[in-house]
Amino acid sequence: MKKTLLKINHIAKYYPGVKALDDINFEVYEGETHAICGENGAGKSTFIKIITGAITPSKGTIEFNGNVYDHLMPPEAMDLGIAVIYQEFSLIPYLSVAENIFYGREIRKGCLLDRAKMNDMARILCKEMDVNLDIEARVCDLGVAYQQIVEIMKAVSRKAKLLIMDEPTAPLTLNETQIFFSIVRKLQKDGVTIIFISHRLEEIFELCHRVTVFCDGKYVATKTIAEIDKKQLISFMVGRELADDYPNPHNKKGEVVLKVEHVTNRSIRDVSFALYRGEILGCGGLVGAGRTELVRAIFGADPLESGTMFLKGRQYRPRLPGDALQAGIGLIPEDRKNQGVILGLSIKENMVYSVLDRCCTKLFSYILTDKETAYVNKYIKELNIKTPDASQLVRNLSGGNQQKVVLGKMLATECDILIFDEPTRGIDVGAKYEIYQLMCNIAKQGKSIIMISSEMPELIGMSDRIIVMSGGSIAGELMKKEFSQERILELASTH
């Protein structure tokens, strides 16, 4: 008989106009890794926040280790051994690894911090977990995978019984995910119960024992991984079978629209390439290879030290992103929370900001014209943004739906060149396909796309041509018939 660690009884959470969760019932067994799946806005993060005490449920009870609670407070959840790694990082960047691990329960000697002791304990923890990490390094100097591992170490040091991970691998590339997984497997061996959320379904099949599916805030089913395949899982999630993974683009390539020649700045070295009208140019590479830095330079967000760029044959020197937008180049950034949207404004305000001069007749007015409303509603529908209406604050949307707002905002600018930095990170399987289709349509209209992606299948499935970056330079270019995961990885790891 399996022992139940966590039992959810009729849990619901209501917001004005939104049933984020509605009458959820299921159990998590001790020692299992249990996935929660569902489309953007299905209620996964809301559920997690209820378990960790971050929000109070509107109805229902939580049974943990045999005790029943109608709600938990965060310190109480922590004392029970519930730890969480949220969708957004919660580490303090300028503190060291050890300081982060013991943050909030620092070890003291008298009234001073006992750094030596904390460092020793952190070192022991590293050894136990078989992690090779400089525990005195500042967290902001670590790669994302290791930051994520510090989050896990923090949880482990608290002797977590239940470790909840909300899209922990979203910012990680293939290699980093493997490093991260090896740590998770150690925890599994030690009997830690894990709740795992990810939009990368392969990960669920690789790591989890059972999976529970939510759809529109409702419980759909719980299955063991052995009795279900990817196709069935998707149909539980979206209530239908999906079309192919990628729309077949077959884009017609036109003349060169953007030419980048010997571009160099503090993060990239001597980068040259051309972008053609109507093509989707993929950009691959490992995290830190300089991909984001390259597109930031093209977008005028970072200055060039040397090199030239030509846009439709004329020299192009953006000094600010405004210059790039004016010239018809748009960027959908990787770090959407900080660069993409204003959380305290509504969906329509966010979207209209980028198109203000295109269709606003009353500048600085919050009353939307019919044209603007039509724009906003068009993208809410096309991107399937889950919201009661366009006046909802972006802060109140689920993680994936916030990202769709950023996409909509940039699509609405109708730029001729669109740069997508990790376009589908955190986006559910159903919506991914919609975004791919949108990208193909954009290319068919004779516009051009540069797409940075760390997801190999996406890079291979969507690109007409791929450039691979490594160490701030272009390591190679692949034509469609040369595409393969091995070849991309090989180029990505050249020095």
Ligand X SMILES: Nc1ncnc2c1ncn2[C@@H]1O[C@H](COP(=O)(O)OP(=O)(O)OP(=O)(O)O)[C@@H](O)[C@H]1O
Binding site for ligand X (CB under 6 A): 15, 18, 20, 38, 40-46, 386, 396-401, 428
**By 3-state DSSP, what share of the chain in percent is helix, strand and coil, each rounded to 5?**
35, 25, 40
Q: How far is the CB of 395 from ligand X (least distance, A)?
A: 7
Q: Does 217 bind Mg ion (CB under 5 A)?
A: no
Choose the one of Mg ion, ligand X, none that binds residue 94, judging by a C-beta under 5 to 8 angstroms depending on kind: none
Q: How far is the CB of 404 from ligand X (least distance, A)?
A: 9
Angle between helices 144-157 and 174-189 (to 10 degrees): 10
Query: d(Cα 483, Cα 460) in Å, to the nearest integer?
Result: 6
CB count in 10 Å sphere of residue 281: 23
Query: d(Cα 244, Cα 363) in Å, to the nearest integer?
Result: 43
Tell me which amino acid residue 368 is: L
Query: d(Cα 400, Cα 429) in Å, to the nearest integer?
Result: 11
Residue nearer to Mg ion on the CB measure, 38 or 408? 38
Q: How far is the CB of 168 from ligand X (least distance, A)?
A: 13
Q: How far is the CB of 200 from ligand X (least distance, A)?
A: 12
Residue nearer to Mg ion on the CB measure, 36 or 491? 36
The stretches of 239-328 forming alpha helices (DSSP H) are 291-298, 321-327
Among the listed residues 171, 180, 151, the one whose alpha carbon sits nearest the alpha carbon of residue 92: 151
Query: d(Cα 440, Cα 147) in Å, to the nearest integer?
Result: 35
Choose the one of Mg ion, ligand X, none that binds residue 15, judging by a C-beta under 5 to 8 angstroms depending on kind: ligand X
Choose the one of ligand X, Mg ion, none that binds residue 453, judging by a C-beta under 5 to 8 angstroms depending on kind: none
Choose the one of Mg ion, ligand X, none that binds residue 148, judging by a C-beta under 5 to 8 angstroms depending on kind: none
Q: Pairing between strand 280-284 and 465-470?
A: parallel
Q: Pairing between strand 18-29 and 162-166?
A: unpaired
Q: How far is the CB of 397 from ligand X (least distance, A)?
A: 5
Q: Pairing between strand 465-470 and 473-479?
A: antiparallel
Site string for Mg ion, 379-408 (x = CB under 5 A): -------------------xx---------
Determine contact, residues 345/394, Cβ cutoff 8 Å.
yes
For residues 204-239, b (16+ Cβ closer than 10 Å) or e, as one string?
bbebbebbbbbbbbbbbebbebeebeeeebbebbbe
Residue nearer to ligand X on the CB measure, 52 or 265? 52
Choose the one of Mg ion, ligand X, none that binds residue 40, judging by a C-beta under 5 to 8 angstroms depending on kind: ligand X
In the set 13, 28, 35, 45, which binds Mg ion (CB under 5 A)?
Answer: 45
Choose the one of ligand X, Mg ion, none that binds residue 173, judging by a C-beta under 5 to 8 angstroms depending on kind: none
The beta strand positions in 349-436, using DSSP E, are: 417-421
Choose the one of Mg ion, ligand X, none that binds residue 277, judging by a C-beta under 5 to 8 angstroms depending on kind: none
Choose the one of Mg ion, ligand X, none that binds residue 292, judging by a C-beta under 5 to 8 angstroms depending on kind: none
Residue nearer to ligand X on the CB measure, 47 or 146? 47
Backbone φ, ψ for residue 148 (5° rounding): -65, -35
Q: Which residue is nearest to ligand X (CB)?
A: 400
Q: How far is the CB of 254 from ligand X (least distance, A)?
A: 36
Q: Which two tokens stand for residue 426?
A: 């955190």
Q: How far is the CB of 195 from Mg ion (least distance, A)?
A: 13
Cα–Cα distances (Å) from 450 to 3, 205, 359, in that order, read 50, 31, 26
Residue nearer to ligand X on the CB measure, 44 or 409? 44
Kindly indicate which of the ranges 37-45, 101-109, 181-189, 369-377 contains the residues binding Mg ion, using the contact rule CB under 5 A. Answer: 37-45
Determine contact, residues 205/46, Cβ cutoff 8 Å.
no
Instruction: Tell me if residue 40 falls in helix, strand or coil.
Output: coil
Choose the one of Mg ion, ligand X, none that binds residue 41, judging by a C-beta under 5 to 8 angstroms depending on kind: ligand X
Kindly indicate which of the ranges 38-46, 91-99, 229-237, 380-388 contains the residues binding Mg ion, using the contact rule CB under 5 A. Answer: 38-46
Residue nearer to ligand X on the CB measure, 18 or 207? 18
Kindly indicate which of the ranges 19-27, 41-49, 130-138, 435-443 contains the residues binding Mg ion, using the contact rule CB under 5 A. Answer: 41-49
Q: How far is the CB of 301 from ligand X (least distance, A)?
A: 26
Q: Which residues pair with 474 in a beta bridge?
A: 469
Q: Pairing between strand 67-69 and 59-64?
A: antiparallel
Applying the rule CB under 5 A, the residues between 50 and 79 that interact with Mg ion are none
Kindly indicate which of the ranges 39-47, 179-187, 276-284, 480-488 contains the residues binding Mg ion, using the contact rule CB under 5 A. Answer: 39-47
Instruction: Tell me if residue 74 falls in helix, strand or coil.
Output: helix
Q: Which residues bind Mg ion (CB under 5 A)?
A: 45, 398-399
